[in-house]
Amino acid sequence: MNISETAKWLREHDNYLILTHRRPDGDAIGSAAGLARGLRAVGRTAYVLHNPEITPRYLPYIEDYWASDTFSPDNVVTVDTASRDLFPVNWGDRAEHVALCIDHHPSNSGYAASSCVDSARASCGEIVYEILSQWPGAVDSETAAALYVAVSTDTGCFAFGNTTADTLLVASELARAGAPIARINRALFREKTRARAVLEGFIFSGLEFHFDGRAAISVITGDMLARAGATENDLDDIAALPGSIEGVWVGVTVRELSAPDDCKVSVRSGKDVDSNALCARFGGGGHAMAAGFTARARTDDVKAALIDALGEVFSGKPRA
């Protein structure tokens, strides 16, 4: 369905339960909260299924919309969720019919009875905004705040390569509708926890460069995490750091997990190195520009093996 068909369908039905995805990000949370509040603005009943994996910083935007255990929906709607295996952990294996899916992933599997999918959009929040815009007055300042969280987080505050003129236009209209963008930007993009800052300090000061500066490798030990006082919440997108250095084609993060011989490797690359192919050599995979694997080995051994593998990747690839 296109935007106006989706808006029409949503007005013709009622009693919505909105689902986010596993390990929900800002786009999932903001889209769900914005959709719930927008539907209420036009007189519909709408709740969001509680997602136990939510990061605390997104809670304020959505906690007013969690469904009670007794809520019995007529229609289940998903946002930002490409396939059934990404449904929230507490959805279990309920085979319940999904009436509508609103999403921007090109890989969307088409699991819902109806879908409104636009993969040209940087965030699902943009699509939800376009739907709500069909109803005059449905986007108040709180809805705008939730949707701004969606749009800004999925684009790294408009700095990622997926940002388009449409993204910036939606952000402008959300700011105009009263989203407190200065406060949200400060909390989400300009402020680090103390533990995160100290950990970034360890990472940046300990980076190893190889192959003429084209590969940057960071090893994150359990001891570093402990000394920084870092928890899982402080590790968001930490794998992007080595690749953010000028001249680096591939950034690798080797992170020690609970035991010293158990580690997780994340690879991020530009278009000149295939992260997926590199990780496939170690039994992992992912996408061309972001992939990973886990290994039962010590971080130093994993690093040495990666440097060998990178040597083959860079052999015959002279620096441009």
**Which residues lie near a copy of itself (CB under 8 A)?**
156-161, 163-169, 171-173, 175-176, 181-182, 185-186, 189-194, 197-198, 200-207, 209, 213, 244-247
Distances (CA, A) of 129 to 1, 2, 36, 37, 106: 15, 13, 12, 12, 19
Strand-pair category, 250-256 with 215-220: parallel
CB 148 within 8 A of CB 181: yes
Give dist(CA 61, CA 146) in Å, integer: 6
CA angle, corner 255, sides to 251 and 260, nearest 5? 145
Residue 111 or 209: the one with the smaller Cβ distance to a copy of itself is: 209
Please, what is the minimum distance in Å from the beta carbon of residue 179 to a copy of itself? 9
Give dist(CA 277, CA 288) in Å, integer: 8
Joined together, the tokens standing for residue 163 give 């940002």
Collapsed DSSP state (helix, strand, coil) of residue 86: helix
Residue 88 or 242: the one with the smaller Cβ distance to a copy of itself is: 242
Give dist(CA 98, CA 111) in Å, integer: 8
C-alpha radius of gyration, the chain, whole number? 21
Distances (CA, A) of 63 to 14, 57, 220, 295: 21, 11, 34, 38
